[in-house]
Amino acid sequence: MEPNQHHIPDEQEFLKSLNELEEILQEAEETATALPEEKKIDLATWEDAVADIEQFLENQEKNKKTS
């Protein structure tokens, strides 16, 4: 196994989380232009995506320190 192969699932999860955040922001933007008084963002999904990104970045830092 190549050294970077174990990072692929982390990177895939990171990219998935970024895509989720982008979708949430796009939906919020569309909602804001359609209904300015009703700005709804799925907070739970947003928090999950942010937590995934934070975990990914923490793992990257740990891997840099152990390398």
Model-wide pTM > 0.85: no
pLDDT for the residue 3: 52
The answer on pLDDT for 38 being more than 60 is no
What spatial distance separates the first Cα and last Cα of the chain, rounded to whole Å? 17
Which tokens in the block code for residue 52? 């995934």
Give, in degrees to the nearest 5, the angle at Cα 13 between 8 and 18.
Answer: 125
pLDDT for the residue 1: 45
3-state SS string for the chain: CCCCHHHHHHHHHHHHHHHHHHHHHHHHHHHHHHCCCCCCCCHHHHHHHHHHHHHHHHHHHHHHHHC
